[in-house]
Amino acid sequence: MKQIGIYTLLFIAFYLLLSLHTQAQIDEDLRKIIENKEYNIGGQPLFCKKTLPEFYYNRGFQRAWTNEDNITELIEQIKLAPEEGLYTEDYHYEYLKENYKGLASITPALDILLTDAYLLYASHLLSGKVNPEKVVAEWQVNKKEMDLKLLLSESLEDIKIARSLNGLKPKYKTYVRLKKALKLYRTIEKNGGWRAIDQGETLRAGMVDTRIEQIRSRLFVTGDISTDKTDSLNLFDSTLEEAIKVFQKRHGLEPDGAIGRTTLAILNEPVEKRIEQIILNMERCRWLPLDLGEHYILVNIANYQLEVVKNGQLEMEMSVVVGKPYRKTPVFSNKMMYLVFNPYWTVPPTIFANDVLPAIKKNTGYLKAQNMKVVSGNVEIDPSSIAWAEVTPKNFPYQIRQDPGPNNALGQVKFIFPNAYNVYMHDTNHRELFSKTDRALSSGCIRLSKPIDMAEYVLKNHPAGWPREKIDKTVSKEKNLTVMLSEEIYVHLLYWTSFVDEHDRINFRKDIYERDGILWKAMQQGPPSI
């Protein structure tokens, strides 16, 4: 019994010593700052009002920044924030640089500011500075989840601050290429940008004009032409024509080689505007999921283009038609689940009100001519029993459904990836739209230029076997048929107004939904609290 008592006393003494040691590690000044919610330190507002207190609670109010290498790495990483299209002032850079003079200068307040800087910068690298759902109604993101408090704790312990922050940066090729383009265009800006070209008549190959020299110089700055020197500076020669075509392709214009009003206006866009576009689309990259998947379909709405990628390789691409500016195609990601051959088309309320109902009132034979029926659920209603003159969009109790066939608005096939917007990809009976340069012409869904090719692709490994001959035969029967997919494939609907193509050329596109200005304004504001 005496022996047990001695061991018990020793244990109690050890516990008391441990408690005293632990208690000694608590920084009371730091604790008071946290508990008193002092969200402004030395004129520097704290942004991580939720995560920062939790970080210090978890470590018993011990100071975090006790290693000089960790502090140096953090300040150096923040200094590089502009390379990511972010702003050093959001992360207390100037204050930290001026007030950090070695470990002896680390006060509780400075420790807290370092933590706030890390957590905020890490959050912006991971998920973006701006919450897209708060600035764009038609934008849905799958928010990336990560315990940044734990990441910071582990990074401090292992002296891996720089590595942990670099690990949060997007790895997508679009982001990496835009980052390189940002560096190039900032160099162009530093060197004076480019001069505006004088206004005048449309210029074409073979013409002589004093503005040609200006145009050569402008194209040389952005690498669209290899030299601005020539024996005939004012002659619009074939070399210049090809350079203009390259420029037009980079900007989503019809590459006709002529310098008309639209091409001239885009040539005269200042370098600062292009830098803004690059920064905005780097931010949009940060909104994407951590992993796009090994197999996915990517639609760039602003570029009217679709790509299919598998294991990093481009498998297929095609032109698309997207929503009109007043019926915008939303941005989101989801899995494609099934496709429907010879789909029915249920007329949406807006199209019924604006197009179909007025047409019926003008011509009662409109429904039959368009292969449409009036239905209530699965029950067909005789259109002659309806007093169409009295019908309004609000009092009409039925639906208008178009049967499968050559005139069906959805064409021969539609592809479903369930979402809250009821948006999908489909064929169209208006093939002429794909010859247009601006293709924001749909009611929100994505129309495919090669829908049967897409059907063949997504069904090529289906256990039931779906060769092209079987698909063509199925379509020709004009009977509705649903086929569930056997392979997982993601669909990412994106909105990029600048990107770098496979030829390593920076591309810019018209902001068809006027989203750039709204996002740029949000990017210039102080960061929201996290």
Q: Which is catalytic among the residues 48, 92, 445, 492?
A: 445
- Of 274, 266, 224, give the one whose Cα is nearest residue 245: 224
Overall number of domains in the chain: 3
Strands (E), 163-294: none
The distance from CA 279 to its chain's CA centroid, rounded to whole angstroms, is 12
Q: What is the dihedral of CA 179, 180, 185, 190, to 10 degrees?
A: 100
Known active-site residue 430: no
> Quick one: CA dihedral 312, 309, 178, 172, positive or negative?
negative
Q: How far apart are CA 426 and CA 409, in angstroms?
A: 9
295 as an active site residue: the answer is: no
Residues 367 and 225 in one domain: no
Residues 464 and 369 in one domain: yes
pTM for the model stands at: 0.89
Q: Please name the amino acid found at residue 128.
A: G
Q: 326 and 470 share a domain? A: yes
206, 264: one domain: yes
Q: Report d(CA 117, CA 159) in Å as an integer.
A: 17
CB neighbours (10 Å) of residue 100?
19
Whether the CB-CB separation of 485 and 339 falls below 8 Å is answered with yes
Domain holding 29, by residue range, is 25-170
Say whether both 365 and 457 belong to one domain: yes
261 and 298, same domain (yes or no) = no
- Helices (H), strands (E): how many in the chain? 20, 17
Tell me which of 92, 124, 251, 426 is the catalytic residue. Answer: 426
- Same domain? For 341 and 432 the reply is yes
Residue pair 49/529 in contact (Cβ under 8 Å)? The answer is yes
Is 519 in a helix, a strand, or coil? Answer: helix
Tens of each residue's pLDDT in the chain, 530 residues = 444 565 555 445 444 443 434 444 689 999 999 999 988 998 999 999 999 999 999 999 999 999 999 999 999 999 999 999 999 999 999 999 999 999 999 999 999 999 999 999 999 999 999 999 888 878 887 778 899 999 999 999 999 999 999 999 999 899 999 999 999 999 999 999 999 999 999 999 999 999 999 999 999 999 999 998 888 889 999 999 999 999 999 999 999 999 999 999 999 999 999 999 999 999 999 999 888 889 999 999 999 999 999 998 999 999 999 999 999 999 999 999 999 999 999 998 888 998 999 999 999 899 999 999 999 988 999 999 999 999 999 999 999 999 998 889 999 999 999 999 989 999 999 999 999 999 999 989 999 999 999 999 999 999 999 999 999 999 999 999 999 999 989 999 999 999 999 889 999 999 999 999 999 999 999 887 77
What CATH code is carried by the domain that includes residue 209?
Answer: 1.10.101.10
